[in-house]
Structure 1
Amino acid sequence: MPYAEPLSPQEIERLLAGLPGWSLAAGATQLAAKYRLAHVPAAIFAVHIASIQEELNHHSDLTLGYDTLSVSITTHAAGSRLTAKDFDLAARIAAIAPGHGAAPLAAD
C-alpha cells in the first residue's frame, strides 16, 4: 500500500494499539495526543517535533500551553484521512517524548 494512501479502519486500530497515549479525533480523521511536561518547557518539545516534521515533510498541528503540548495529525493530501505517514510521525513523537520529560495525558 502506498505511504500516503488512506488506511482502513482495521489498519488504523492495529497501528493505534502500538501508540499508548494517542487516540482518534475529529471523527477518526486525526491522531491526537496531549503531553504534560514536568521539567522542560513545552516549547522545546515543540521545536524538536518541528524538526522531525521537516525531516519527514509531514506536519501536524501543535497547540502549546503552559506545561502541555497537544498534537493533532492527519494527511490533508489524502482528503484529511489517516495514512501511514501520520502513524510514522506519531511514533517518532512518542519516541522522543520521554527525553523531554513529556508524559501523555488521558484523552479529553
Structure 2
Amino acid sequence: MPYADPLSPKEIEDRLAELPGWELSEGGTELRRTYHLAHLPAAILALHIAGIQDELNHHSDLTLGYDTLAVSLTTHAAGSRLTGKDFDLAARIAAAAEAHQAR
C-alpha cells in the first residue's frame, strides 16, 4: 500500500485555493511558500515546523535565509507527487507561520 495516493489536478487546484500565498512548482510536483521574517524568528519558526513534521510523520525541505524561510513539499513515496499529506502539512505550517507573524 502506498504511503499516500497522489492527488488529481482538480484536487490539487481545490486544495491550493485554501492556502493563500502557496504556489505550485513549475512542474506541479511541489507545493512551495517563502515566508519573510527576521533571521532569528525564521530559525525559531523552522524549529516549530520540524516539530509539526515529526508529529505528522511527513517532512518538507526547509531553506533558511537571512530574512526568509522557504518551504517545499512533495511526497517522495508517491513518486514525488503531491498528496493530501502535503496540503495537511502546508495548512499546519501556515498556521504556525501566522503565529510567528511571518509574512
Which bracket does the TM-score occupy, shorter chain normalised?
Answer: over 0.9
Q: Distance in 1 between matches of 2:8 and 2:98?
A: 30
Contact 1:39 1:101 in 2 (8 A): no
Q: Distance in 1 between matches of 2:99 and 2:40?
A: 10
Percent pairwise identity: 74
Determine the structure 2 residue equivalent to 1:99.
Answer: 99
Q: Does 1:12 align with 2:12?
A: yes
**TM-score, with structure 1 as normaliser:** 0.89
- Distance in 2, matches of 1:5 and 1:73, equals 15
| Larger helix proportion of the pair | 2
What CA RMSD, in Å, does the superposition of the two structures yield over aligned residues? 1.6
Bigger proportion of residues as strand: 1
Counterpart of 2:60?
60
Contact 1:32 1:70 in 2 (8 A): yes
* 5+ long unaligned stretches in structure 1: 104-108
What TM-score comes out, normalization by structure 2 length?
Answer: 0.93
